[in-house]
Each structure stands twice: as structure tokens, then as C-alpha cells.
Amino acid sequence: MTVAIGGSPVIRVRGLTKRYGDVQAVAGVDFDVAGGEIFGLLGPNGAGKTTTVEILEGLRPADGGEVSVLGVDVTRDADALKPRIGISLQTAALYPKLTVTEVIDLFRSFYATSRPTAELIADLDLGERKNAQTKVLSGGQRQRLAVALALVNDPELVFLDEPTTGLDPAARRSLWDLVLGLKAAGRTVLLTTHYMEEAEVLCDRLAIMDHGKILEMGTVDELVMKRFHERAVRFDRLPELTTAELEALPAVASVKADGGEMLLYTSDVGPTIGALLALTERRGLEPQNLAIRRATLEDVFLDLTGRALRD
């Protein structure tokens, strides 16, 4: 089930292109996904994430480039890949008049080997709804069923396309736990999302996509640190301290007063905080709600594309 980590990558994409009429949906994409990792494609709607994933799944032909998934050349032999992967489409499409159990049983019949229905229902916490027709399921239950269907064949690699779009925060968190559970079980997961928080919580590595291209790739920390070397030290504003005084503190690059909060951008948090505390001590002050904050993916995306990533 688990593919050896450190060996050849589970997914290898080079120079992938795809065009729909006048629209270049994917414009030369390269990335690798290692066994056992959760890899994310992050980007706004229309960035080319879904097209990329569907080419990897063997659902769409590529115009150009090489795509190897689990050692299979997808452009040549997608059928050899299908028994070994699990997918969940962006829209959880299910037979509306069949029950949860019936849909799982149906999908099990498509595979030579499959996990027992009862086990899948228990794992995905669908026990209470197992005899309900899928049309009456809630959004979160529907997504869990879609993931159950992706796991029917006990796949080595799972594709999840926008697994939490449209879910409420509780349902989203429950699905995150599920995805982290897949990783713990040694599976490789490729997911797409346009939620920063989701990418930060789930992805070992991620690629930021826009207009069919990968703009930046790496771990969340790498992506953030590459652009934002400074961290922000924040505390509730103290009118007694002048901006000039704060700017003179060691390692501080800039100072920003934002409403009731002071932000010190620093390249080295330790000396800055030490000096800040010494300064306030001397003046008989106490910084309230002192915290260290780093830049987020949202800041990275803003920096890369000049626009915010919101849905």
C-alpha cells in the first residue's frame, strides 16, 4: 500500500500543458510528489488546479508534457492506473436515489479488491446515515461519502479536488482529520484547495498556482520565509513609546502602528523582544498581549499575484 519514501516520486509532472480553445488552462507545470506526503495545489478558481489533477487521474488527455503517476505513464495507460488510485471530484456526484450503503457497494463492484463496506462506513463516520438516500445527506456527509468512495479500493494515492468547498467550519475540520488520518496510514494525498488555512493545516508541501502556472512551491514555512524574512512582534499600543524609540531596537526593520496594535517587523525575534522588554521595564510599562506572528500564505499569495485569494 505504501510506496517507498525516498525512492522515485509517486507523481512526476514535467512541462504539462493543456489548452481549451483560447484558454491556456495549464501552461507548463512541473512538480514531484513523494510517497506518504500530502501535497497541495493552492490557487483561485480557474488557476488550472482541477485540470492538472484530472490529467493526473487519467480523465483528460494532456496537450504536452510528461505525467507519471505510480510509475504509470498516464498519457499512454490510464487504465492501468485506475485500480490503484482513489479520487474525489470537486462536486461530490452521487446517485441521489441510492443509499450510502448501496453506493459504496456499487463502487466496490468496480474493483477487483475492495475494503468491506461496514469498515468504510465506520471509518468515515457514516453509520447513522448508512440507509439514507444520498440526496438527503448534508454537505459534510456527502463529502465524507465521496472520500469513502475514493477509499473503496484501498488506494495507494488519493486525489481530493476541493474536498471542503462549501462546508461549514465544523464539517471542514472533521474532513481535515480524515485527510490527516490517510497520511498517518501511509497514503499519498494530492489535494487542491483555495483555502489558505486548509493548505497550512494539511499540506506537507504545496504549489501555488495561478493562470495555469506554478508560481512557488515548497513547505508552508519555506514559502512564507522566502518572501517574508521578518516576523512581526505585536503588542497593544503604548502611547508612551515613540516610533523612533522602537525603530532603534535591535534587528527591527520597520515599525507599524495599526489601530490599537503595534507591529515590529524583525529579522531576529530574540534580541528584539529582549530589548523591548528591557525598554518597557526601564520606563515602568508593561506590553499587553505580546505575541510573535509570522506572515501567512495569504501574504504570500498577495505578494505573488497582487490580489487576495478569496472565494
Partner 1 sequence: MNALVALTIANIKSYVRDRAALFWTLAFPLIFIFMFGFIFQGGGGGGLTLGWVDHDASPESAELHRAFTALRSNELVELPEAEARAQMQDGEVDAVIVVPDGYGEAITAGTAGSATAPASITVITDPSRSDLAGSVYQAVGAVLGIVNLGGRPPLVVPDPQTIQTENLNFISYFVPSMLGLSVMQVGIFAAIPLVADREKLILKRLAATPLRRWQLVGSNVLMRLLIAMVQAVIIVAVGVVFFGVEVTGSIAAVAAFVILGAMAFLALGYVVASFAATEDAANGMTSVIQFPMMFLSGTFFPIDSMPDVLQGVARVIPLTYLSDALRQVMVSGAAFAPLWVCAAVLLGWLVVCFAIAAVKFRWQ
Sheet-wide strand order for 85-88: 85-88, 157-161, 188-193, 38-42, 205-210, 213-218
Count residues near partner 1 (CB under 8 A): 26
Binding flag, residue 268, partner 1 (CB under 8 A): no
| 110 touches partner 1 by CB under 8 A | yes
Q: How far is the CB of 267 from partner 1 (least distance, A)?
A: 48
8 Å CB contact between 4 and 36: no
Residue 112 is a binding residue for partner 1 (CB under 8 A):
yes
Minimal distance, residue 22 CB to partner 1, in Å: 20
CB of 143 to partner 1, least distance (A): 13
Q: Does 132 bind partner 1 (CB under 8 A)?
A: no
Q: Which is nearer to partner 1, 106 or 304 (CB)?
A: 106
Sign of CA dihedral 194, 202, 26, 296: positive
**Region of 107-115, 185-193, 285-293, 296-304 interacting with partner 1 (CB under 8 A):** 107-115
Q: Which is nearer to partner 1, 104 or 206 (CB)?
A: 104
Among 12, 17, 32, 59, binds partner 1 (CB under 8 A): 59
In angstroms, give the least distance from the CB of 228 to partner 1.
39
Our finding on whether 118 is near partner 1 (CB under 8 A) is no
